[in-house]
Structure 1
Amino acid sequence: MNRLVREIERSARAQQREIEMQHRVQLHAVREAERAQRDYERTAKADEKERKRLYIESNLAEAESQNEQIEHYVQSLRQILLTGLSREPMIDFAKMQVTPAYAAIDLSDLVSTSPEPRWTAYEPAKPKGVAALLPWVKSAYQKRCDAAKQTYEQALREFRTKEDERQIALKRRQYEHEQVVKRAERKADEHNKAVEQLREAFSKGEPDAVASYFITVLGSSPYPDGFPQEVQAEYQTESKQLIVAYDLPAYDTLIPKLKSVKYVRTSDSFSKSARPENQRRALYTDVVAQTALRSIHEVFQSDSRGYIDTIVFNGYVYATNPGNGKPIHPCIVTVRTTRDAFSEIDLAHVESAACLRALNATVSKSAAELVPVRPVLELNMSDPRFIEEGDVLSTLDQRPNLMELTPGEFESLITNLFQAMGLETRQTQPSRDGGVDCIAFDPRPIFGGKVVIQAKRYKNTVGVSAVRDLFGTMQNEGASKGILVTTSGYGKAAFEFANGKPMELLAGSNLLYLLKEHAKIAAKIVMPEDWKDVGPDS
């Protein structure tokens, strides 16, 4: 009985220990689960903190990147002139030549990948030994041969069909590639011939070629994004003068409105700071001035043949009139300068706007608002029919030759011209050089006033003394403006003297244009071989 009791007690204690063990295991598991949960939560918090840190750093870096891009672009605008000074603008005609450009022919998909079928690959094995003599073995072998031959012939037909198709496709691909090559060679040949023609014409000083050369010079000059770089030019041989019409970028499309970007952590947003309007306007005015100076520099620098003595630069902007919504194309900067005057300037150390003022340029009072200025000399104000001395075709032209008119006829012609242009003219006594001296009045209020006009029928270049004489006459007459017209051209000293003064110097091509445009007179200028200028100017 005692033993039974002890066994019962042992069993009870064992069960108790088992229960306690299970309880401890369960408790340990719960604790481990709680510890794992705490570790997970700590890890999750750390990951979330790291994610937020990376997110903030990414946004800060994005704001910094945008600011760097803005600053780099603004600096590129401020360095337009200096950037232009650091490059060689001259056009090398040899480098304008091109080689035919085309891709190599691709025949990879037309390469034969399988050999022609051979009978030996289909022919069944011949029976050997005594069995080969048995009739039924011979019969069975012949049947296998017939079946194999049919299979072989079918494979051979399919192969030859595919091969024929491959050869046709190959020849077509080769023919198409040959056509591509011929077109590329023809295009390159046409381009190279045009370049060679331009080179030859430029070497001869032909006006269109000279203008085209400098259009290429200015049009290929690298500028920051936003510059249209549309250029027109006209070359006046008689005055060695280049007139440039250059399209400048519009204010709002060029000057960034944004000054800086800042990432705000508290609101998780980007704060944008606007660039002050006065800074934008000042930067645009500076860009306009830099572009004008750089363009003039590039023309003179690339003129290896010395064709250009004088440059007229007119900067225009394509925009929309906010008042009526119609397109406008105002001139906002105009300047005329000579090679000698410009060579005295140290462009690397000038303040652009001040430099233009020193060149007597006329700049818009508010370039950003496109307040226009009157060009010194407009493009297309020349008549391309100005005839050089010795032009054989001139004998076939029935238009009146200004050089064959009598002094009285020439004076009447010039008087009629300026009357047609809206001036009230008063002719004076005939001039000694076969031209006309005329006092005129511009009836417009504010802009009008007394105008002194002189025309010279000259064969040689009109020099500075004639311009000085006209300026002296203006002062004696109390005139507000002077106009000098010639059948030839002007020397650079004449342009330098007239620069910044209320004077217009019109060459022979300009005179022909004005006669056609305002007086409806189609004239020509052909210098007689025996013509001698009266009192040649120098």
Structure 2
Amino acid sequence: MARRSLLAEVIRAQEQRRRAQERTQREWGIAQRRAEQEMQRAERDATRQAAADGRERERLLHEDGTASAERLSREVEQRMAALNGLLVAALGSQQGLSFAAMRQRPRAATFSPRPDLLPSPPPQWEQFAPLSPAPTGLSARFGGKTRYEQQIALAQHNYAQAMANYQRAEGDRQARLAQARANFENAANAERAEVARHNAEVDALETGFQAGETEVVEDCFSLLLARSGYPADFPDDRRVAYRPEPRELWVEVELPDRTVVPEERGFRYVKTRKQIDTLPRPEREVKQTYASVVAQTALRTLYECFSVDARGLVDTVVFNGHLSTRDPATGSPIHPCLVSVSANRETFDGFELAHLDPVACLKHLNALVSSHPYDLESVEPVVDFDKAKFKFTDEFDAAAELDGRYDLLKMDPYKFEQLIRQLFEKIGMKSWVTQPSRDDGIDGVAINEDPILGGVCVIQAKRYKRVVEADAVRALWGAMEDKQATTGILVTTSWFGSTGRQFAANHRERLRLIEGAELKHLLAEHLQLDVRIGLDRPPPRRR
């Protein structure tokens, strides 16, 4: 899996904090409502105890129980509305991948000193001067003048002392003000430096994304999907892989378990028993809702990925939806795949997501969808991130190594498989070649994007000199059933026996046989290769 950039981890951490905060707020809201209910219940209990009329107490009890049942029913309705609107909620709110939005700007704050750093007015003489005027006449002769002079002297002393104290305090204030201003400038400079570093990383991310660097593309789409606002109790685990050559994005998402669907249809207060009864939701509705949640999650992920303007980078998105749970029969941890779908941008852009049926849309896309997701029935994913079932190998241009009339029977078996892959990709399929070990008799897994006959196609290529027996055709059919594939193709450099051809004819809607002569024609038509097949003897003529 791709190395995560520091920016990716920061934004992922921010999203995790947002989800944690949302959960905390939700829990706090629940606790607050419970506290309010307890308070209201205590008040009503006091009212009931004080009420002399028994019928009044019964009425209050009934009102309290009915109100609680209605509140619980509204919460269930709101939950169901959120589950049924998972896909629609993403429409319009998804802003795609905006590098401009990722960039930061330093705060345009100005220095504002604290109140204790603001200057205070200096002492004034009027604050200390005697309030009474200088004495005159007899009052001055009989000691008034002396007393007045003493008051003046004392006032002058106090004024001088106050002025000295003010000057010392002012010097200290100016020193603290200068330090605060310096601290503010240092913090502002540090913030500007951090913003510049962050924006430089965003610029590098955008440059790498536009250049189609694999790890950067994976990081960017991981950031995009991390911002998707699913309900707080939905898991947020996902993996992203990018294949530049076919311009494919693989996304694996952890699905919520079936407990996300409320098993309660509503609540009702029963007056005779003085208790709230649960109205069960029909099991059929619970299962249908969960299947819709799985389908909406798949389509929502495809929509979010295609909302990015990356037409030169991503043409196809492959989605796998897994569930981490335990096998109810054994208790062992299991990780079934409940939905796997491949869609190209052109087809998906033609959908009106606000009006379609998510389950029907996946069927239209030839998705592999669990028939019973509620019961954890798994499907084989189109691509396996852990490469446990299909081991994808590095691709190379096998056709480039063929020059002139090259004999296919002299090709390396691995290169022959790669040549068949290139042929089907040129025809219009999306194909991957598996490694020889543990491939279940399959040489390739292809995605046919035809809206009518498309789906998963398993391919086997046999570089034979003699007849291909019917057992090989039946084995391919068994592999198709095992992989839940729509079609199967068996390619050979030789020919098929009558029994094998008849078996394929009986399943001609799903099984296709390509013999050596037709293979040469297809290579010439689609890859412009003129090859030969040096059989020991020519194929038998057919009537």
Which TM bucket (shorter chain)? 0.5 to 0.7
Cα deviation code 1:1-41 (max 9, x no counterpart): xxxxxxxxxxxxxxxxxxxxxxxxxxxxxxxxxxxxxxxxx
Contact 2:366 2:454 in 1 (8 A): no
Cα deviation code 1:428-456 (max 9, x no counterpart): x9737955269xxxxxxxxxxxxxx8123
Judging changes above 3 Å, is the alpha-carbon distance between structure 1 residues 179 and 59 closer, same or farther for their aligned structure 2 residues? farther
Q: Supply the distance in 2 between the matched residues of 1:361 and 1:454 (Cα, whole angstroms).
A: 26
Aligned twin of 1:338? 344
1:275 deviates by 3.0
Aligned twin of 2:408? 431
Aligned twin of 1:352? 358
The 5-angstrom pairing of residues 154-303 of structure 1 reads: 154-252=161-259, 254-303=260-309
1:537 maps to 2:493: no
Judging changes above 3 Å, is the alpha-carbon distance between structure 1 residues 52 and 153 closer, same or farther for their aligned structure 2 residues? farther
1:64 deviates by 2.0
Judging changes above 3 Å, is the alpha-carbon distance between structure 1 residues 504 and 316 closer, same or farther for their aligned structure 2 residues? farther
Read off the aligned partner of 2:300 and give its amino acid letter: R
Contact 2:448 2:454 in 1 (8 A): no
Aligned twin of 2:35? none
The 5-angstrom pairing of residues 13-412 of structure 1 reads: 53=59, 56-85=62-91, 89-101=95-107, 107=113, 109-110=115-116, 112=118, 114-124=120-130, 127-129=134-136, 139-252=146-259, 254-319=260-325, 329-342=335-348, 347-348=353-354, 350-379=356-385
Cα deviation code 1:204-255 (max 9, x no counterpart): 2332333333334433333344333443212111111111111222322x22
> Which shows bigger deviation, 368-377 or 341-350?
341-350
Other structure's SS at 1:77 match? helix
Cα deviation code 1:351-373 (max 9, x no counterpart): 43343334333333543354444
Contact 1:462 1:537 in 2 (8 A): no
Aligned twin of 1:420? none
Contact 2:337 2:378 in 1 (8 A): yes
1:133 deviates by 7.9
Other structure's SS at 1:482 match? coil
- Name which of 395, 403, 417 aligns with 1:454: 417
Judging changes above 3 Å, is the alpha-carbon distance between structure 1 residues 179 and 465 closer, same or farther for their aligned structure 2 residues? closer
Other structure's SS at 1:242 match? strand
Other structure's SS at 2:443 match? strand
1:283 deviates by 1.5
Contact 1:467 1:484 in 2 (8 A): no
TM-score, length basis structure 1: 0.60
Read off the aligned partner of 2:418 and give its amino acid letter: A
- Name which of 453, 458, 470 aligns with 1:502: 458
Contact 1:218 1:229 in 2 (8 A): no
> Which shows bigger deviation, 158-167 or 200-209?
158-167
1:502 deviates by 2.6
Contact 1:435 1:455 in 2 (8 A): no
Q: Supply the distance in 2 between the matched residues of 1:189 and 1:504 (Cα, whole angstroms).
A: 55
Judging changes above 3 Å, is the alpha-carbon distance between structure 1 residues 142 and 179 closer, same or farther for their aligned structure 2 residues? same
1:109 deviates by 2.9
Judging changes above 3 Å, is the alpha-carbon distance between structure 1 residues 433 and 284 closer, same or farther for their aligned structure 2 residues? farther
Judging changes above 3 Å, is the alpha-carbon distance between structure 1 residues 66 and 149 closer, same or farther for their aligned structure 2 residues? same
Judging changes above 3 Å, is the alpha-carbon distance between structure 1 residues 263 and 188 closer, same or farther for their aligned structure 2 residues? farther
Q: Supply the distance in 2 between the matched residues of 1:493 and 1:365 (Cα, whole angstroms).
A: 22
Q: Supply the distance in 2 between the matched residues of 1:200 and 1:305 (Cα, whole angstroms).
A: 16
Read off the aligned partner of 2:306 and give its amino acid letter: F
Read off the aligned partner of 1:63 and give its amino acid letter: A
Judging changes above 3 Å, is the alpha-carbon distance between structure 1 residues 79 and 207 closer, same or farther for their aligned structure 2 residues? same
> Which shows bigger deviation, 453-462 or 333-342?
453-462
1:335 deviates by 1.9
> Which shows bigger deviation, 456-465 or 154-163?
456-465
Other structure's SS at 2:340 match? strand
Contact 1:89 1:221 in 2 (8 A): no
Judging changes above 3 Å, is the alpha-carbon distance between structure 1 residues 46 and 216 closer, same or farther for their aligned structure 2 residues? same
Q: Supply the distance in 2 between the matched residues of 1:70 and 1:466 (Cα, whole angstroms).
A: 45
Read off the aligned partner of 1:91 and give its amino acid letter: L
Q: Supply the distance in 1 between the matched residues of 2:204 and 2:224 (Cα, whole angstroms).
A: 17
Other structure's SS at 2:417 match? strand
Other structure's SS at 1:233 match? strand
Q: Supply the distance in 1 between the matched residues of 2:458 and 2:421 (Cα, whole angstroms).
A: 23
Cα deviation code 1:115-166 (max 9, x no counterpart): 2112343234674446798696665445434433332233334434443444
1:261 deviates by 1.3
1:100 deviates by 3.1
Other structure's SS at 1:284 match? helix
Contact 1:84 1:294 in 2 (8 A): yes
1:288 deviates by 0.5
1:59 deviates by 3.8
1:260 deviates by 0.9
Judging changes above 3 Å, is the alpha-carbon distance between structure 1 residues 119 and 326 closer, same or farther for their aligned structure 2 residues? farther
Q: Supply the distance in 1 between the matched residues of 2:460 and 2:63 (Cα, whole angstroms).
A: 64
1:406 deviates by 9.5
Judging changes above 3 Å, is the alpha-carbon distance between structure 1 residues 344 and 138 closer, same or farther for their aligned structure 2 residues? closer
Contact 2:428 2:448 in 1 (8 A): no
> Which shows bigger deviation, 230-239 or 354-363?
354-363
Q: Supply the distance in 1 between the matched residues of 2:414 and 2:73 (Cα, whole angstroms).
A: 63
Q: Supply the distance in 1 between the matched residues of 2:262 and 2:447 (Cα, whole angstroms).
A: 43
1:262 deviates by 1.2
Judging changes above 3 Å, is the alpha-carbon distance between structure 1 residues 336 and 306 closer, same or farther for their aligned structure 2 residues? same
Contact 2:239 2:251 in 1 (8 A): yes
Read off the aligned partner of 1:148 and give its amino acid letter: A
Q: Supply the distance in 2 between the matched residues of 1:244 and 1:266 (Cα, whole angstroms).
A: 54
Contact 1:234 1:380 in 2 (8 A): no
Contact 2:444 2:458 in 1 (8 A): no
Q: Supply the distance in 2 between the matched residues of 1:467 and 1:258 (Cα, whole angstroms).
A: 44
Judging changes above 3 Å, is the alpha-carbon distance between structure 1 residues 66 and 206 closer, same or farther for their aligned structure 2 residues? same
1:344 deviates by 6.0
Q: Supply the distance in 1 between the matched residues of 2:426 and 2:271 (Cα, whole angstroms).
A: 72
Judging changes above 3 Å, is the alpha-carbon distance between structure 1 residues 133 and 481 closer, same or farther for their aligned structure 2 residues? same
Read off the aligned partner of 1:192 and give its amino acid letter: N
> Which shows bigger deviation, 139-148 or 453-462?
453-462
Judging changes above 3 Å, is the alpha-carbon distance between structure 1 residues 492 and 205 closer, same or farther for their aligned structure 2 residues? farther
> Which shows bigger deviation, 119-128 or 228-237?
119-128
Read off the aligned partner of 2:75 and give its amino acid letter: Q
Contact 1:233 1:379 in 2 (8 A): no
Other structure's SS at 1:298 match? helix
Read off the aligned partner of 2:156 and give its amino acid letter: K
Q: Supply the distance in 2 between the matched residues of 1:219 and 1:455 (Cα, whole angstroms).
A: 36
Bigger-Rg structure (1/2): 1
Aligned twin of 2:442? 482
Read off the aligned partner of 1:208 and give its amino acid letter: E
